[in-house]
Amino acid sequence: MASVRLAAGRDVGAAVAAVVVAVLLAVQTGTSQHDARTLDAWGIGLVVVAAAALAWRRAAPVVALAISVVANAASLLAGYPYGPTLLCVGWAMFEVAWRRPIRVSAPLAGVAAVASVAAVLPRLIEVLDVPALGLVLWAACWLAAPWSLGALLHVRAAAERRARGDLMARAALEERIRISREIHDVAGHGFAVIAMQAGVALVVLDEQPEQVRASLEGIRATAQAALGDLRQVLDERRPQPEGTADLAALVARARTAGLPVRLTGGAGDLPPAAGDIVYQVVRESLTNVIRHAGPTEAVVDVAREPGAVLVTVTDRGVGSRATGDGRGLAGLRERVEAAGGAFEAAGLDGGGFQVRARLPLPGQPA
C-alpha cells in the first residue's frame, strides 16, 4: 500500500513539473508566434489541463492521452500558440505505447494524429498554404517518435516477461524430473529388496522359521528406510551421502535381502555432490542386480584416482537386461555426465553386467 501511495505521489509530482514547464513554454512561444491568439486565462487553463492529465499516465494512460488530445485540439482551434500542448500529447502517447499492447496503442496514435491535424489544419493552411497530406505526415511524424519508443519498450518488456516465465517453467520442470528420479530410485530399490526378502521367506517358510523371521524383519527395516527416504525427498531434506559409510549400510541391506555383495576399495571422504552420485550409482546398480541378474554375487568397488573417483558395480548374473537404456540407468547417465563425469553400462563377455562411473573431484589434483 505504501508503494502505491509513493508511486501516485511521484506521478503527481511529475505532472506538476510538466504543468510548470508547459506554461513557461506556452508563454515563450506566444511571444514568437505573432499570428497566435494572446495567451489568456483560458489558454493557460488548457495548457494546465493537457499537462496535468499526465498525473494518470501510469494508472490510466488511455484517459491521460484522451484528456491531452482534447485539451490540445481545443487550444489549437481557439488559436492559442501551438507546441506545448502537443508535447503533452506526445508524452501521453509514449506512456500508452509503453503500457498497452500495440493493438491498442497503434489505433490511439492514429486518432491522436488525426485530431491534432484537424485542429491545426485551418491555421496552417491560411498561413503556409501547406497541402493536407503534408500536414497529416507532419502530425504522424510528430507522434511517431514517442509512440515508436514506447512500443519498443513494451515489446522488450513483454519479451523479458516471457523469458522469465519460460525460465521459471523450465526450472519447475527440471525440479519435477529430479524429484521423480529420486522417488524412482528410492522406491525401486526398496521394492526390489522387499520383493527379494519376501521370496526368501516363502522358500524357507516351513523349514527355517528363523530365516522367515529375519526376512520379515528385513522387510520391515527396508520399508521404514524407504518411507523415510521418500519423506525426505518430498520435503527436500534428504541428507547428502558422503564417503563409504552410507554405501556400507546400502550393501548391508542388499545382503539382508539375500544378494551377496562385496564392497572393495576405499574412497575416503568424498565431497557431498560426488558422494551423492556415487551412492545413487551403487543403489540403482544393486537394484538392477536384484531385479534382473538372477542368482549371482555383486562386487562394488569405489576407488580414488588422481582428481577423480571411480565406482564400479559388477555381477556375473544370467538375467536379460538392456545395455544402459533403462529409465534408471539413463537417469544415472544424465546425473554423472551433468557433473562432468563419464558413465558406462554394458554386458560382459561370458555373462554378467557392469556399471562404471568416473566422477571428477573439484579442487583435487589430476
The helix/strand/coil state of 108 is helix
Can you state the angle between helices 209-234 and 132-203, rounded to 10 degrees? 170
Classify the phi-psi angles of 80: left when phi > 0, otherwise alpha if psi is within -120 to 50, otherwise beta: beta
Residues 6+ apart with CB under 8 A from 127: 35
**Which ranges of the chain does DSSP label H, i.e. alpha helix?**
2-32, 41-52, 61-77, 84-99, 102-128, 132-203, 209-234, 245-256, 272-288, 327-338
Sorted by where each starts, the structural domains of the chain and their CATH numbers stand as 2-167 (no CATH), 242-366 (3.30.565.10)
Phi, psi of 32 (to 5 degrees): -95, -20
pLDDT of residue 240: 47
Average of per-residue pLDDT across 296-314: 87
Lowest mean pLDDT among 242-256, 263-277, 345-359: 242-256
The residue-averaged pLDDT of 60-67 equals 89
Asked if 7 and 35 touch (Cβ cutoff 8 Å), the reply is: no
Q: In angstroms, rounded to a whole number, what is the distance separating the alpha carbons of residues 117 and 130? A: 12
Cβ neighbour number for residue 34 with a 10 Å cutoff:
6
- pLDDT of 106 above 60: yes
Q: Residues of 142-152 as b/e, b for ≥16 C-beta within 10 angstroms?
A: bbeebbeebbe
Q: Which of 34-38, 97-101, 245-249, 318-322 has the lowest mean pLDDT?
A: 318-322
Q: Of 54-68, 140-154, 351-365, which one has max mean pLDDT?
A: 54-68
**Tens digit of each residue's pLDDT (9 = 90 or more) over 194-228:** 666 666 666 666 677 776 667 666 666 666 666 66
Q: Tell me the pLDDT band of 241, cut-offs 50, 70 and 90.
A: very low
What is the pLDDT confidence band of residue 324, given thresholds at 50, 70 and 90?
A: very low
Cell triple for 280:
545413487
CA distance 35 to 280: 87
Looking at every residue in the chain, the average pLDDT score rounds to: 76
Chain position carrying cell 499516465: 57
Cβ atoms < 10 Å from Cβ of 312: 20
Q: Which of 220-224, 243-247, 252-256 has the highest mean pLDDT?
A: 252-256
For the segment 41-68, the average pLDDT, to the nearest whole number, is 86
pLDDT at 237 over 50: no
pTM for this one?
A: 0.52
pLDDT over 50 (residue 69): yes
- Reply yes or no on whether the pLDDT at 361 is more than 60: yes
Per-residue pLDDT of 122-172, as tens digits, reads 766 665 555 555 555 665 667 778 888 888 998 888 888 787 777 766 766
- pLDDT for 357: 92
